[in-house]
Amino acid sequence: MQEIRYTPIGTVRSPFLSPKNMPVQPLQGRGIKGKIEIYPEYRECLRDLDGFSHIIVLFHLHLSKGWKPVVRPHLEEMERGLFSTRSPHRPNPIGLSVVRLVSVEDWGMNIEDIDMVDGTPVLDIKPYSRELNGFEEEKNGWMKGRIGKLRDKKPY
């Protein structure tokens, strides 16, 4: 198979200097402020983004070390198949978060509801739209009834 390479378009600026005590999902990061600094050659791409309340951020999980096919998710006692979890330890360490877009500036963006470590390389940004992205959930797999447990647990 041919190798795939990506070039970061920017960097996350976050109050979290390491994964320790960091929110494990944007749900736990509600109200936590951060920034995405966009590299100069990509700043024109920010045009027209300021009309959206939320964005999808795709990023490289640069601190992730290795992966296993079966993992024990956060706050769980049972092991699960990796692809049924949101574990950062993946064959391709790509993260995805939906965050609140506070403002677009000439250097990048101010965001909230952050669950990313400072210095995280950003691969892409897409606008979030409830009409395009908000599916009505039919099944929530093994997570059914457990998401509230994550919501109620303080990350730090």
Residue 44 in any domain: the answer is yes
38-93 residue pLDDT tens: 999 999 999 999 999 999 999 999 988 889 999 887 777 889 898 888 888 899 99
Range of the domain at 123: 10-152
Instruction: Name the more confident of 62 and 30.
Output: 62
Q: What percent of the chain has pLDDT over 90?
A: 55
Q: Is-contact 146 75, C-beta < 8 A?
A: yes
Cα gap 71→83, rounded to integer Å: 10
Q: What CATH number is given to the structural domain containing 118? A: 2.40.30.70
Residue 96 in any domain: the answer is yes
Q: How many domains does the chain have?
A: 1
Residue 2 in any domain: the answer is no
Residue 138 pLDDT: 67
> In the numeric block, which tokens belong to residue 84?
């049924």
Look at residue 144 and tell me whether its pLDDT is greater than 70. no
Residue 94 in any domain: the answer is yes
Residue 140 in any domain: the answer is yes
Residue 130 in any domain: the answer is yes
Look at residue 149 and tell me whether its pLDDT is greater than 60. no
* Residues forming beta bridges with residue 98, ordered by sequence position: 56
Look at residue 124 and tell me whether its pLDDT is greater than 90. yes
Cα gap 87→24, rounded to integer Å: 9
Residue 78 in any domain: the answer is yes
Cα gap 61→50, rounded to integer Å: 26
Q: What is the pTM of this model?
A: 0.83
Look at residue 156 and tell me whether its pLDDT is greater than 50. no
